[in-house]
Structure formats: C-alpha cells, structure tokens
Structure 1
Amino acid sequence: MSRITLLWFRRDLRLDDNPALIHALTTGAPIVPVYIHAPDEEAPWTPGAASRWWLHGSLLALDASLQRFGSRLWIARGDSLTELRRIVAATGATGVSWNRLYDPATRERDTHIKQALRSDGLRCESHRSTLLFEPWEIASQTRSASKTGQPYRVFSAFWRACVRELSGIRPDPAPESLPAGFAPVDGLTVDDLGLLPTIPWDQGLRATWTPGESAALARATAFLDARIGAYSVARDRPDAPGTSRLSPHLHFGEISPRRLLAMILDRFGDPAADPAESFVRELGWREFSYHLLYHFPRTPVEPLDPRFADFPWRTEGVAERLDAWQRGRTGIPLVDAGMRELWHTGWMHNRVRMVAASLLTKNLRLPWQVGARWFWDTLVDADLASNTQGWQWTAGCGADAAPYFRVFNPVRQGERFDPDGGYVRRWCPELARLPNQYIHQPWTAPPPILMAADIRLGCHYPLPIVDLATSRQEALAAWGTIKGNRPNPPVTEFE
C-alpha cells in the first residue's frame, strides 16, 4: 500500500479546486487532512477577533465535508513544524502537500518548514490556490516587456498583463471520493481552539454570515444569477445589496478565484464583456494587492511612498478622536453608519470603507496604520494584502494611490450613494426621523426640524468632531510639507 500523505490545510478551507488536494490524490496514497492552529507564527498580524469567529465556522464546515467522504480533519495546535513532525511520526506519512500563502511571516515560516521536512526525507509540495497568478509570474512578464525587472506599481498596466491569460484559467473539480486515511489518535476539536468570544458579542455576525464552502458557492451563485447585471452601478450603493460579499469566503479559501472566474466564463463567455467586466476587475485588484504585498513586504506598516514616513500626523487629542471613529460617534452620519455596521456584522461596504478611511487619515489626520489595525481586528474579511492596499490607496501613500489631495466629502458621498438615507437610518436609528435633506448633515438642520425628529445634537447624536472644510485645508497644508516639488493641487477639489 502507498504510504500516507498529509494534506495541510491553512487558508484553503475547501475541497473544490484545491491544488494541494489534487496533488495528494495523484500519489494514490491515503490522505490525512491536517489543520494546525499556530496564530503566533503570523505575528505581528495574528488573526483578529472577527477572523477567529469566521475560522471556527469554516473549520467545522470543512470537517463536516471530509466526514461525508469517510475522512476527518486532524486538528492540532502549536508550532507548525513540531506538530507536522509529530503527525508524520504517528501516521508514517512520507509526504506533505499544501497551498501557498503570501504574507511575509508565513512565507518565511513555510520556506523553513519545507527545507526541514525535506531534510527529514519527506516529499513536500506547495501549490497555487489563493490567486489566479503567482506574484512572480506577473513580475516576470514585466521583465520581458521592459527589461527592468521591477514589479508593477500601477494597476492598469498590471491588469492588462493578466487579462491576456484569463480565458485559459480553469479550476479542478472537487473529488468524488477520498482514499481512506489514518484516524487522528489525539487530535483536538474545533471548540478546543477557543476561537469564539467568551463574551457573546457575535450575535450580528451569526445573523449575517454562514462560513464554509457550501455557503460560499451558494453566495457566488446567487450573486451571478441575480445581481451581477447591475453590479457596475449597484456596488457603490451601501443602501442596497449590490456587492457580492464574497471577500471573507475568498480570504479563507472557501471558494477559489479560479472557480469564480470559471462561473463567469460559463455564463458570459468573455471576462472582459459586460456585465462581468467590472466584477472580474475587482478580482484583479485583489491580485494586485497580493502582487504588492509580495514585492513590498514592509507595506503593512510602512508607506510605499517614502515621503509619508515624515508626514506630520496629528499628535494631540489622538485617543479621543480614534475612539469616536471606532465607535461610530464622529457626528458624520455616513462614517458612523459604516463603523457601526462593521462592529455589528464584521463587514463594511467598500464605498463606505473609503469614506471612513479618508475621514481618519485626512480630516482627523491620524495615521493610516491605526485604521488598518482596527479593520484587521473587526473585519471578517481581514486580509493583509487587501487591507494594506486599501488603506495606503485612500491615504495617498501607496501604489496607484488616490492623490493625497483627494479628500472624500462624506456629506456629498452620502447624498450621492445613499440618497434616501436608508443606510444611515439603518445604522444610526437616532437620525431616522430626519428629512433626506439633512440626514447626511444633521448639524445644518434648523432647530424646529431637529425638534420634530426628536434629536438634540450633542445628546442623542454627537456634533461633528471636526469641521470638514477646515480639516481638509489643514490636511493639504500638512501634505505640502512633504510633497517636494510637485505642482500645487487644485484647492477646490472636495468630493
């Protein structure tokens, strides 16, 4: 009989289109599925509270899927190399198969583990599962085209290099059966990992999400069947279900980008054709985020634009302003609605993420890193590559970034993308009785209007903690101290 192969699951918690699983099956060996909980090895980006909640449900779903095949997940906790060696010794396994991760800490760890296990005489194979393209594949195309060997820093050029290859990408189906493996002799349960909160703050997450591969496929199918036709416009409306909400499923590998792309190709034929193009382009932004993280591994903590290392962030009143932003008590309704949605559901609409991040980094002039940390702990889709790219883009210090002088006006953003105030009324119910004219700027409402809506500003709802116009000018002045010889921005731009 063939010797056993360990299938090491990480952020690829699915059976469909799982290259490491496909490789393990080709060996003909019995397979032992393994998950090792080692959050400290991801430091300083250990999973946040919302991510741990999602991981609990995703592991339960994966184990249930494996059990339907007569297998089960061997769960361990501790140093990954130590635990892999322990399971190898218990099973007599001769090989380990896994899918790659791209975070700086896990890349370094996995390289060390692969070298150590191969020194032990084991077959070790790693595979692409998270992305459509490996980050170094796109960089190699750059070398061929420009002879510079530099990674892409502009999305449009990066995506053009990718689009040419999209039609040839096809996923592998889920297996119809799994060879019998080795029953865990001392494995843990998912509950033993202590991923759920001890204080039950997760009611909103439980009411909003269902982790797992089956739920991911169902959500993707529903989106493509019912909403992708309006996606290019509806994706900007936080008051309506216009987005796919697939980001946490993608982050935990419950569905692959290759499967999503194949579903789109099956429906529309061409990923660059309407109505698929705008959604496929968002998959491209995800690829670009990983490309940047791979080539610039310091960007989770350092700005890609080095001038921002000297940016004069605010030093007074920082704790109070940050607390108001985190709690959704800034007095700016669209931002407060987004921050409350985040706390309640572990997710925030992307348009509102940009507005909330702009308020923090431009109007409040607090470092983008503190915002990224808060999102990291509270988002169920907290992804180091995407989170870093999103914050550096809004702060104006990353690749393909929005110019620093582009300061989102949350009032105008609300009037444009939440015109009836439905989103604000849902998450800021104390404002529900305000007329549409004032729902995004209650501080401008005359006293009789506020009285009729049963609102006393500073009591029922806070006054704005910052003047939007004045703080924008202060932000531009701060930018002027580091921008060098670039031309002055148009001071009238205020979106």
Structure 2
Amino acid sequence: MATQLAWFRNDLRLADHAALIAAAARGPVAALFVLDDETPGAWRVGAAQRWWLHHSLARLGRSIAEGGGRLILRRGRAGPIVRAVAAELGADVHALLHHEPWAAVQVAEAGAVIPHLGVTLAPPESVLSGTGGRYRIFTPWWKKLLEQMPPPRPRPVPDLRWADVGSIASDDLSQWGLLPTAPDWSGGFSQWQPGEAGAAARLADFARRAARYETARNLPSVEGTSRLSPHLALGEVSPNTAWHVIADAVGETVAEPYLRELGWRDFAANIIDQFPDHGDAPNREAFNRFPFIDDPVGLTAWQHGQTGYPIVDAGMRQLWTTGWMHNRVRMITASFLVKHQLIDWRHGERWFWDCLVDADYGSNAQGWQWVMGSGVDSSPFNRIFAPVGQSAKFDAAAYIRRWVPELAQLPDDAIHAPWEAGVALIRAGVKLGRDYPQPIVNHEAARARALAAWAQVKNA
C-alpha cells in the first residue's frame, strides 16, 4: 500500500482528524508540519502563539513517536516543501481545509492535495440563503447553520500504521527559536497546557462549569469562560468535539450560549472566505476616510496597560502576562483604542495577533471590525463602551486588583474610577501620576470627539 502523507497545519491533534483518518485507511502514514513564514500574504505566527506552537508540536511529536512514527518538521514556503516531501515518499497528501487566504495559496502550490473537512462545524460555503447566496450577518447565518446541526460526532484516533520516514530530513524543533529568549516574557503562560491532552483536560473542566456559562461569561473576576480558544485556534480539539462534549454535559438548550460562540468562530471563517483581506481592509468603504490619529505615545500606553482606566489596563496587562484576555474586556479595550484614542484598529489587531495565544485570523479581524463598526456585521460606530460603566456593571473589582495591584487597596465603589475616589485614594496611599497614571483622555470629551469624527466621515 502506498504511503499517505498527513499534512498538519493548525489542526495539531490525532483524534477526530478527517485527513489523518482517511490517510490511515489507505496505507502507512507519514506526518508533516511546515512552519511557513514565507508564503506571500501569510501572517507570520505571533510571538505568543509561537510559544504555544512549540509546546503543541513537541506533544504531537511525542504522541506520534509513542506509536512508532516521527513528525517531520520543515521550515519555509509550505507548498513547495509539501510537494517535495510527497515526491520523496511517493505519497498522496491529505490535509484539512483551512480558510485563511494564504491557506489556499499553500494548497495550490503543494499540488495534488486530498482535502478534508474538520476545521469548522460546517463548510462556510454550505450555509446559504434561500436564494443560494452567502450570509454576511451573523443572526440569520446562525439560524441557517443550526439546520445542519448538531455536527457529526467526533471520531477517535484511527488505527495508525506509521510509515518509515527515517531517510526524510527533519528540522530540530528546538532550533526554530519559537520560545522567547532573554528577557523571557512567558512566565505567566505556565497556566496553559498546550497539546491535545491539555485541550481534553480544559474541555472536561469547562463541561463541569458550562451550566453557569450564560451568567458568568461576562464577569472577568470569575472563571466563567471556557478558555478553549487557544486549543481551538491550533486545532488541538475539533469544534465538533467541543460541541458534543458540552451539549452532552448540560443539554443543547443550556449549552446554546456557548454553542453560539462556536458558531461565531465559524461565522468568522465564513467572512474571511468571502473577504480574504478582512484583516487589513475595512468592509465599509466610509472607514477608509476615517480621521485616525497618529499617536505612538498613546498606543504604547494602551499596549502596556497605562491608560489610567483600570479595566482597560487590567485587560492589557492580563494579555501581556498570560497571552489571553477575557472576552468582555477584549471589547472594552478595543473600543477604548479606536474610539477614545482614535487610533487605527489595525494597530490593535496586530498587537492582539502578536500577544494572543489564541490568535486566529478570522476571529481577530472580525472582532476588531465589529468594534470599529467597519465590518459587514458590526456594532454601530456610535456604540462607544464607557469603560467605567462597563467595569462596574460587570463587577470587575477583583479582576482589577489582580492585574492592577497599585489600586488593590481601593474599595469596590472607588476602584473603577480612581480619579474620582477622593478620600479613598488617600487612604489607599495611591497618588495618581506617581503610583498609577492619570486618565490619558476624558471619557466625555473623547466620546464627543469620536462622534464628531464619525459625523465628518458620514457627511463627506
């Protein structure tokens, strides 16, 4: 039987992997991963996700080695490398279909690739309106997707016979430089367990908490979200698996708020499938004229959690320390950058891309364009999050104390807006401008400025 080459990309698992299952059914299997920073248009994997990728590949490699195989590692332009390895092995190539614009280029350059489904709950092109058109708005798209749900139940690891690839050259993972060198900024990443086993453990943990998801997910001070996003981003668990484990644990009705979030991930794939430049260009033409401010000092203050708004600063410091940020706080911090500071959303998008362990081209672009109001399905620009109001509404006091320890002694009713704390600030021993920054903008003035900028664009 001819050797079959399983080309791994952001699908670093053995279970419920359609390409691997199909390959195993046809012959001995060789496994290949290519770190591609060279295909034109490809977004280079960000620093935080490179840390995750290193550990995920190490764990995948060990799992394959335990079965008698070897994960072939190569670095360079993926298409030609896949083609060359397949020719050397005399192998057919199997791969899951990904939807980033550069993924199609890689497949085209690789030659004859046998495609398989498994990255999304359903292929984006299969969710069509009654007239056969593609959806651009989430709610009707979600209703249509539900007609195909639930997805197929996940399949176990196939019975694998690994091919002898001893003669095939492979890179040493440790030589790829995916891990940070001095200074090592990854100390706070120790909470994560990259890899398929880590994904399974995280999913099992969330299944025990999923019944509380709808009420807890917006509260940054509690463990209310799934924290599965990094594992989904690197494909260490399939969306089908996540769907069925959670639905089985609490029932589809109770699970619906989380299943809807899995749907949002699919919807982002649907959008980039239609608009490949979604990460670089606004979908609404008017935003090409938006009068963004070039403010490197303000951008740095936002990046480093020094805006003077505790909820914003807590989120940005959590991001830097852990490679992850609570979803509600992602919206607050993004809104602050683009509407309070009038800084181009693409600066924020790129910062998130570099700092998030769960960086995903479609979801990241969709999130930023949603906040900006520039996406095909987005929040109106004049929906401007009030950071103090959001912080109080979602009970973020403990979250702020965790990530902005300068303010830890302030009481709950004062910690959201320390510049208004008065005597409480004195009692806490905090001096603004010395121990913690003064607000870099005034909320009401910034809101008025943002609305004036939008009026200028609309009326142009």
TM-score under structure 1 length normalisation: 0.90
Q: What's 2:69 paired with?
A: 71
Higher mean C-alpha deviation, range 365-374 or range 43-52: 43-52
Q: 1:265 to 1:332 in 2, by over 3 A?
A: closer
User: Does the 8 A contact of 2:28 with 2:160 survive in 1?
Assistant: no
Flag as ranges the 4+ runs of structure 1 deviating above 6 A. none
Q: What's 1:80 paired with?
A: 78
Of 93, 96, 103, which aligns to 2:93? 96
Instruction: Report how far residue 202 of structure 1 moved.
Output: 3.5
Instruction: Report how far residue 451 of structure 1 moved.
Output: 2.2
User: Does the 8 A contact of 1:395 with 1:402 survive in 2?
Assistant: yes
Question: Is structure 2 residue 280 aligned with structure 1 residue 298?
Answer: no
Q: What's 1:490 paired with?
A: none
Of 404, 407, 427, which aligns to 2:384? 407
Structure 2 CA distance, aligned partners of 1:184 and 1:433? 63
User: Does the 8 A contact of 1:135 with 1:291 survive in 2?
Assistant: yes
Question: Is structure 2 residue 248 aligned with structure 1 residue 266?
Answer: yes
Post-superposition CA distance 1:56-76 (Å, at most 9, x none): 000001011111211120111
* Alignment map for 1:283-362 (pairs within 5 Å): 283-315=262-294, 318-362=295-339
Instruction: Report how far residue 96 of structure 1 moved.
Output: 0.8
Q: 1:89 to 1:152 in 2, by over 3 A?
A: closer
Question: Is structure 2 residue 358 aligned with structure 1 residue 381?
Answer: yes
Task: Look up the SS of the partner of 1:98 in the other structure.
Answer: strand
Question: Is structure 2 residue 230 aligned with structure 1 residue 230?
Answer: no
Post-superposition CA distance 1:53-104 (Å, at most 9, x none): 110000001011111211120111223233224323443x231111122111
Q: 1:481 to 1:44 in 2, by over 3 A?
A: farther
Structure 1 CA distance, aligned partners of 2:155 and 2:98? 19
Structure 2 CA distance, aligned partners of 1:37 and 1:430? 41
Instruction: Report how far residue 9 of structure 1 moved.
Output: 0.7
Of 220, 236, 239, which aligns to 1:254? 236
Structure 1 CA distance, aligned partners of 2:344 and 2:199? 34
Question: Is structure 2 residue 11 aligned with structure 1 residue 12?
Answer: yes
Q: 1:451 to 1:283 in 2, by over 3 A?
A: same
Q: What's 1:492 paired with?
A: none
Task: Look up the SS of the partner of 1:41 in the other structure.
Answer: coil
Q: 1:384 to 1:171 in 2, by over 3 A?
A: same
Question: Is structure 2 residue 103 aligned with structure 1 residue 106?
Answer: yes
Task: Look up the SS of the partner of 2:13 in the other structure.
Answer: coil
Question: Is structure 2 residue 123 aligned with structure 1 residue 134?
Answer: yes
Q: 1:153 to 1:128 in 2, by over 3 A?
A: same
Of 43, 46, 49, which aligns to 2:47? 49
Q: What's 2:131 paired with?
A: 146
Instruction: Report how far residue 324 of structure 1 moved.
Output: 0.3
Structure 2 CA distance, aligned partners of 1:84 and 1:38? 11
Q: What's 1:212 paired with?
A: 195
Give the counterpart letter for 1:157 in structure 2. P
Question: Is structure 2 residue 140 aligned with structure 1 residue 157?
Answer: yes
Higher mean C-alpha deviation, range 370-379 or range 71-80: 71-80
Q: 1:26 to 1:242 in 2, by over 3 A?
A: same
Question: Is structure 2 residue 458 aligned with structure 1 residue 483?
Answer: yes
Give the counterpart letter for 2:339 in structure 1. K
* Alignment map for 1:443-454 (pairs within 5 Å): 443-446=419-422, 448-454=423-429
Instruction: Report how far residue 161 of structure 1 moved.
Output: 0.5
Structure 1 CA distance, aligned partners of 2:167 and 2:328? 46
Give the CA RMSD over aligned residues: 1.6
Q: What's 2:185 paired with?
A: 202
Structure 1 CA distance, aligned partners of 2:186 and 2:359? 19
Structure 1 CA distance, aligned partners of 2:210 and 2:454? 39
User: Does the 8 A contact of 1:41 with 1:106 survive in 2?
Assistant: no
Q: What's 1:493 paired with?
A: none
User: Does the 8 A contact of 1:4 with 1:32 survive in 2?
Assistant: yes
Q: How many aligned positions are there?
A: 460
User: Does the 8 A contact of 1:4 with 1:181 survive in 2?
Assistant: no
Structure 1 CA distance, aligned partners of 2:454 and 2:153? 46
Structure 2 CA distance, aligned partners of 1:71 and 1:125? 21
TM-score under structure 2 length normalisation: 0.96
User: Does the 8 A contact of 2:154 with 2:241 survive in 1?
Assistant: yes
Q: What's 1:461 paired with?
A: 436
Give the counterpart letter for 1:22 in structure 2. I
Structure 1 portions without partners, runs of 5+: 119-123, 486-495
Structure 1 CA distance, aligned partners of 2:186 and 2:10? 24
User: Does the 8 A contact of 2:189 with 2:323 survive in 1?
Assistant: no
Structure 2 CA distance, aligned partners of 1:217 and 1:51? 19
Structure 2 CA distance, aligned partners of 1:413 and 1:248? 26
Q: 1:280 to 1:323 in 2, by over 3 A?
A: same
Q: 1:484 to 1:44 in 2, by over 3 A?
A: farther
Structure 2 CA distance, aligned partners of 1:171 and 1:300? 31
Structure 2 CA distance, aligned partners of 1:8 and 1:183? 17
